[in-house]
Amino acid sequence: MRREEQRQVRKKWGNLLENLAIVIMVFYPLRHIGWGLDLWDTGYSYANFQYMGTEHMDSMWLFSTYLTNAVGNLLTKLPRGDTLMGMNLYTGLSASLLALIGYFFCTRKLKMPKGIVFVGEMAALSLCWCPTATFYNYLTYLFFLISSVLLYLGLTMEDEHSGRKKGYLIGAGIFLGANVLVRFSNLPEMGMILAVWVYDFICTLEEREKYKGKTKAKTNDTPGTVRENDGRPEGFWKRTLRHTLWCMVGYVAALAVLFSYIHIRYGIGAYLDGIARLFAMTDNATDYKPAAMIRGMIEWYWREMYWVVRIGVILAGGMILFAIAGWLESVLARHFPGKSSLADRRGGSTGRKTLWGKTQSGIAGIVFDMVRALWIGVCIAMIVWLWVRKFTSHYYYSYDPIWNLGPVFLMLTITIALIRVFHNRAPKEEKLISGMMILVLLLTSIGSNNGVLPSLNNLFVAAPYVLWESWRFVKDAGERRLGGGLVLSSFPAKGVLAAFLAMCLFQFGAFGVQFAFAEGTGIQNPVATVDNNGILRNIKMSPEKARWMTELSAYVNENELQGQEVILYGYIPAISYYLQMPSAFNPWCDLDSYSPETMRQDLRELEGEISEKGEDKPVIILERTYALYREGALEGQAVSAAEEEPGLSKEAWEAMNADPKWRLLLDFMETFGYAERFRNEKFAVYR
């Protein structure tokens, strides 16, 4: 009875701790919803959500991320969805959902220890460098995670549950198909079908081996005896074709339903035109070409080999050190008899306890204590050396802490997964999840021009997985006696692995607490607010940005410009959302993916609406350096004169001068007689 009571108490405390962990995982992604101000992705995404449609959006962006924009538009209609903090809250919950799905999948299905999974999920959340406002990323990760979970459940389910198995595989296909409408560049995710083929191949091999064993056991030694053929395993091709077709049914069905809706609302021709422009944009944005994206990912991993090789050299040195120590032990054991050999250490209870609880006696025990203590010191020194060499840093408001550390962590994950895939004693289910981790990490980065950074943002199963596999290795791996008294010890690898993961967890956690995205870097000194702008209510930012936005908002309020169309130039697309001024055609005109030909066509249509239909001219807001350029050009200043202007260098002048889209906008402003009405340290308004 007493034992049962203790079990109930432990269960109660376990449930309490798990509930606490769930609450933390829900609220931790919301830690920065009141931080700003990002003039790039955050406001740009929310402007597309609020003004969704072909009237104010670039059709290429509308259709290439259609499902994201549709869901985002629904979020704007929720309570407080008309504020930046409210939208940050709603999109931030997508990260919470990712962590919860990853947690329950890892603990309930993969049977990982709850504490390890919680730490892994917190590390994954901390590495979410991308703002949740770029909702197409998080919706991509969410659909990708759900499809991966369903794929795993479907493949590992026994054939007698064929109905549920079929449903899971069709569901996996549905989410992968829908993900193409979340972001068109998710198309490579269909590569997850490799997991189906490889797992079916492994299952077929195992079943054949079992079948051979059964038939051999039933075969008599009498010549001519025929083996029984009952229970013959299903052929690989038949099994794989069936599973593949189930996945494809879901994939095609999702696309058919979504394309039908788009056709009814916009016409399939409009969709095809937008996607055709997506493929054509690589002529200007060459970093979005498939070869360039794959090359960028490979180059990033290759660059990090600099650090991997050096860590490997340290590990190799440790292996040699322990091999020598094993040889020395065998020599000492011969001269000083006693329980001191590696074999003896596994049994018996005499002798003294070493640093690690192993029973040893005599000089050999002292030697191994010294070697292990020395190696602990080496591992600590390795971390210090990596820090001094700027492998990572303490500038947690920037990418520096994870710039090298994160990709090496990904390489460690892929390496561990490869080892488990090819380990002959690993269960087939572990081989499956290991192979899926490799596919997820590689496929996540394809479709982005950010190298391996997208994969760092999508570790909701991979982070718990690598911690779990590492914990098992540290707990279970032992030593092996080689010839000549040499020892192959796992202790050096355990030390290096534990030290590296400790460094990762500390750095990832500190980065997550302090980093918040803004203009490709991070937010610093968020202590000021903007009090005359309802969208930015209660958002903390640097005093400098608060001053810029307060002055610009005051001008917009005084002149009642909210709701009027605007043209923005100078990498300030978020202003459309912050000022509630819909874009005339594309809020981020200066992106390479928005071609000069498209801008010329959009401006020509706008000119027609103004000249022929009497439509109001849109307001034009420029970043200050472009205002300086226009002022200098109107006054006939040379480049040398422009150099003397504060904030505008010769290089900036020449770059603007060579920008064809900027030249188009200048011509438009001259044609319709735009004059400057407001300027501060950051913005200039023309009407």
What confidence tens digit (pLDDT) does each residue in 243-270 have? 999 999 999 999 999 999 999 999 999 9
Using an 8 Å Cβ cutoff, are 71 and 135 in contact? Answer: yes
- d(CA 569, CA 667) in angstroms, rounded, equals 14
The secondary structure of residue 102, as a DSSP letter, is H
The secondary structure of residue 483, as a DSSP letter, is G
Q: Dmax of the chain from CA atoms?
A: 107
Return the pLDDT at 352.
42
- d(CA 555, CA 549) in angstroms, rounded, equals 10
- d(CA 104, CA 22) in angstroms, rounded, equals 10
Q: Please compute Rg for the chain using Cα positions.
A: 31
Return the pLDDT at 73.
97
Angle at 185 between CA 183 and CA 191, to 5 degrees: 115
The secondary structure of residue 562, as a DSSP letter, is T
Using an 8 Å Cβ cutoff, are 421 and 473 in contact? Answer: no
Return the pLDDT at 218.
60
The secondary structure of residue 107, as a DSSP letter, is I
- d(CA 503, CA 307) in angstroms, rounded, equals 14
The share of the chain scoring above pLDDT 70, in percent, equals: 89
Return the pLDDT at 335.
67
- d(CA 652, CA 233) in angstroms, rounded, equals 69
For strand 683-686 and strand 676-679, is the pairing parallel, antiparallel, or unpaired?
antiparallel
Per the structure block, which two tokens stand in for 180? 């193409």
Using an 8 Å Cβ cutoff, are 483 and 367 in contact? Answer: no
Q: Which helix (H) or strand (E) holds 684?
A: strand 683-686
Return the pLDDT at 162.
79
Local structure of 626: helix, strand or coil: helix
For 144-200, how does the pLDDT look when each residue is reduced to its tens digit (9 = 90+)?
999 999 999 999 998 766 789 999 999 999 999 999 999 999 999 999 999 999 999
Region of residue 231 (left: phi > 0; alpha: psi -120 to 50; beta: else)? left
Return the pLDDT at 674.
96
Return the pLDDT at 146.
98
User: What is the number of H-type helices and E-type strands within the chain?
Assistant: 27, 8
pTM of the model as a whole: 0.92
- d(CA 462, CA 124) in angstroms, rounded, equals 8
Using an 8 Å Cβ cutoff, are 484 and 328 in contact? Answer: no
Return the pLDDT at 496.
97
The secondary structure of residue 481, as a DSSP letter, is E
Which residue in 32, 39, 68 sits closest to 52, CA to CA? 68
pLDDT at 484 over 70: no
pLDDT at 223 over 90: no
Return the pLDDT at 487.
72
Using an 8 Å Cβ cutoff, are 124 and 460 in contact? Answer: yes
The share of the chain scoring above pLDDT 90, in percent, equals: 72
Return the pLDDT at 341.
46
- d(CA 458, CA 99) in angstroms, rounded, equals 10
- d(CA 459, CA 440) in angstroms, rounded, equals 9
Return the pLDDT at 4.
81
Q: Which residues, 6 or more positions from 124, have their beta carbon under 8 angstroms from its beta carbon? A: 98, 99, 102, 459, 460, 462, 463, 464
- d(CA 431, CA 427) in angstroms, rounded, equals 6
Q: Which helix (H) or strand (E) holds 347?
A: none
Across the chain, what does the average pLDDT equal?
89
Return the pLDDT at 330.
73
Using an 8 Å Cβ cutoff, are 277 and 598 in contact? Answer: yes
For 93-126, how does the pLDDT look when each residue is reduced to its tens digit (9 = 90+)?
999 999 999 999 999 999 999 999 999 999 999 9
